[in-house]
């Protein structure tokens, strides 16, 4: 797990240097990806594959980290990763191209973001909303479901992605030709599609409801209390002040989410393991 913590600690520098965040993505990165993957223009109608999803996710993660500060508390990061990896292994998509990685953002408003390919962020504000480890697991299970369902990459305009693949196929044959600028523009447009969806506009109501339902199932498989999704949403509903910011702005009404989850999550009594997890959660400096 220490390796995962170090990965997260170096995420900002790695992403920002590889993809850029102020002046756009540098052409050498695009050419390298194109050369490695050997795109052909004839492939332009195919869906995004796992390795491409990973590269898109890295760029989106860089954009998130250019917007919000990354938590530098390695112990807390390790803890969140341990919980996240536990639920990811029991999800409908336990493995991604480069694996799942979890990090905390130093933001007071409650929110969480799932970047394509498996990089997942949770804000300090949402961590503070969680009352125990099972509720933290509920948040992370919901975000893992977005990755499993490929909700992020599905938000990319199909016409734009077809143009990316077509241009990459051309760029593979003409690495220093006149299409380089167009390729960068198209790829950055794809990143904008995902970033705006997860940070600004939010997923569709059906995507959020599907992720909630998947989280309930994943929690049970991972040994957590499925009812933690219900108790978490109840806490969020108490904090909901009209959906003006954060998760309340980008998600369906919390009251509607809570009503649906209540019908899906079985009622259980706290056991010894849940009590132990709650105690462990309280030892973290959240």
Structural domain includes residue 122:
yes
CA dist., res. 238 & res. 261, Å (int) = 16
pTM: 0.79
For 228-269, how does the pLDDT look when each residue is reduced to its tens digit (9 = 90+)?
A: 999 999 999 888 765 555 676 667 788 889 999 999 987 777
For 5-24, how does the pLDDT look when each residue is reduced to its tens digit (9 = 90+)?
A: 444 445 544 444 433 444 44
C-beta separation of 59 from 20 below 8 A: no
pLDDT at position 284 is 86
Question: How confident is residue 158, by pLDDT bands cut at 50, 70 and 90?
Answer: confident
Show the domain range for 116: 2-30+53-153+199-283
- The residues, any chain, with a CB within 8 Å of residue 175's CB and separated by 6 or more, are 31, 34, 35
Neighbours of 96 (CB within 10 A): 20
C-beta separation of 120 from 144 below 8 A: yes
Among 273, 7, 248, 2, residue whose Cα is nearest residue 133: 273
Instruction: State phi, psi for 114 to the nearest 5 degrees.
Output: -110, 110
Extract the tokens encoding 242. 């009209």
Structural domain includes residue 277:
yes
For 197-214, how does the pLDDT look when each residue is reduced to its tens digit (9 = 90+)?
A: 999 888 988 999 999 999
For 44-92, how does the pLDDT look when each residue is reduced to its tens digit (9 = 90+)?
A: 456 788 988 998 899 999 999 999 999 999 999 999 999 999 999 999 9
Question: How confident is residue 181, by pLDDT bands cut at 50, 70 and 90?
Answer: low
pLDDT at position 279 is 87
Structural domain includes residue 193:
no
3-state secondary structure of 252: coil
What average pLDDT does the chain have? 80
Q: At what angle do helices 205-221 and 228-239 cross, to 10 degrees?
A: 140
Instruction: State phi, psi for 178 to the nearest 5 degrees.
Output: -80, -5
Structural domain includes residue 213:
yes
Structural domain includes residue 166:
no
pLDDT at position 265 is 86
pLDDT at position 4 is 47
Residue owning tokens 């969480």: 112
- The residues, any chain, with a CB within 8 Å of residue 144's CB and separated by 6 or more, are 84, 87, 88, 91, 93, 100, 114, 120, 215, 218
Structural domain includes residue 206:
yes
Structural domain includes residue 174:
no
CA dist., res. 168 & res. 48, Å (int) = 13
Residue range 149-168: mean pLDDT, rounded: 78
Task: Tally the domains of the chain.
Answer: 1
């Amino acid at each position: 797990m220490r390796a995962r913590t170090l990965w997260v600690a170096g995420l900002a520098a790695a992403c920002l240097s590889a993809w850029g965040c102020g002046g756009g993505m540098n052409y050498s990165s695009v050419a390298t990806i194109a050369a490695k993957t050997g795109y052909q223009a004839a492939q332009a109608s195919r869906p995004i594959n796992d390795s491409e999803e990973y590269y898109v996710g890295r760029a989106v993660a860089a954009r998130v980290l250019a917007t919000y500060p990354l938590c530098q508390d390695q112990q807390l990061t390790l803890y969140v990763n341990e919980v996240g990896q536990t639920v990811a292994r029991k999800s409908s998509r336990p493995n991604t191209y480069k694996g799942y990685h979890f990090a905390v953002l130093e933001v007071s408003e409650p929110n969480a973001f799932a970047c394509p390919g498996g990089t997942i962020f949770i804000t300090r504000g949402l961590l503070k909303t969680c009352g125990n480890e099972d509720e933290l697991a509920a948040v992370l299970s919901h975000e893992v479901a977005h990755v499993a369902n490929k909700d992020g990459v599905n938000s990319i305009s199909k016409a734009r992605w077809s143009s990316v693949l077509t241009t990459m196929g051309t760029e593979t044959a003409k690495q220093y030709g006149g299409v380089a600028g167009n390729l960068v523009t198209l790829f950055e447009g794809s990143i904008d599609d995902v970033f705006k969806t997860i940070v600004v506009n939010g997923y569709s109501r059906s995507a959020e409801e599907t992720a909630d339902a998947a989280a309930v199932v994943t929690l049970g498989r991972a040994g957590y209390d499925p009812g933690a999704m219900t108790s978490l949403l109840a806490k969020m509903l108490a904090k909901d002040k009209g959906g003006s910011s954060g998760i309340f702005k980008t998600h369906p009404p919390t009251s509607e989410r809570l009503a649906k989850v209540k019908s899906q999550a079985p009622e259980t009594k706290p056991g010894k393991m849940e009590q132990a997890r709650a105690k462990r959660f309280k030892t973290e400096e959240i």
